[in-house]
Homo-oligomer: A and B are copies of this chain.
Amino acid sequence: DQPFVLIAGPCQIESAAHAQETAQALREICGALGLGLIYKSSYDKANRTSVSAQRGIGMNEGLQILSDIRETLQIPVLTDVHTAEQCAPAAQAVDVLQIPAFLCRQTDLLLAAGQTGAVVNVKKGQFLAPWDMQHVAHKIASTGNKRIMLCERGTSFGYNTLVNDMRGLPIMAQTGYPVVFDATHSVQQPGGQGTSSGGQREFAPILARAALATGVASLFIEVHQDPDRAPSDGPNMLPISALPRLFEQFRQLDSLVKQFI
């Protein structure tokens, strides 16, 4: 089995400079450890809790920034799309189109993403059983595009709480598609701060280790220089300064576990 690949970056594209700086820092850390990296960031937060929360930098500017990072740093980049119309332009700028969890059943969006030929990473809806992701994958694959990744980011568990069923990772892997574990959204507390979502950053590395121990293809982690000042998802993002030590642990763990499988 292949070593795990990191999908990492800040929740939002804050500015060209901030994006470049974060991408460079991540490339350096991953390079030193021999880890593959896909840079992740969003140009629009389309489903925030509150209407007055910050939406993001916008599609045109955001895609330009991601495309620049891809070119200057020579790393693949990922962003999420929210409508069928966004898929084609986004696929020009990035390598991986991501389908948000709430939208993972929207047939038109899945088909449009598939039709671009780009890799499509679908987050499992919080309302979906892991075995039902095969139908989601099948929608994309019906376009002829089988470059699909399936991503666990937590399942509804009572109110304002998510839980990861680690059995879901091997169940989704039975589709034959690579499985991603999203460690930082899994510790979100949706709506847990009243007008925004809370998070339990301290559990993200623990859940990441648990997921790696089951043998996943990729780890998704949102990171920030200063999470407590980030415009969104601050409570669950990890500080960049913590990454070298963590990623080294993850690398060793992944390498050991992949020997078992």
| A binding-site residues for B, Cβ under 8 Å | 46-51, 55, 82-84, 102-103, 105-108, 110-111, 125-129, 131-132, 135, 138-139, 142, 155-161, 163-167, 169-170, 187, 190-191, 195, 200, 203, 206-207, 209-214, 249, 252-253, 256-257, 260
Contact B49 A135 (CB under 8 A): yes
Copy number of this protein in the oligomer?
Answer: 4
> Which one of B125, B165, B195, B210 lies within 8 Å of A163 (CB-CB)?
B165
Q: How far is B203's CA from A102's CA once the two chains are assembled, in angstroms?
A: 27
- A138: chain B residues at CB < 8 Å are 50-51
A249 to B166, CA, bound (A): 18
CB-CB under 8 A for A161 and B164, given A82-B106, A127-B127: no
B210 to A51, Cβ gap below 8 A? Answer: no
Q: Closest residue to A130 on the B side, CB-wise? A: B159
Which 6 residue pairs spanning A and B have beta carbons closest together?
Answer: A158-B158, A213-B213, A129-B159, A156-B156, A47-B105, A210-B210
Q: Is the pair B206, A166 in contact by a Cβ cutoff of 8 Å?
A: yes
CB of B256 within 8 A of CB of A135, answer no
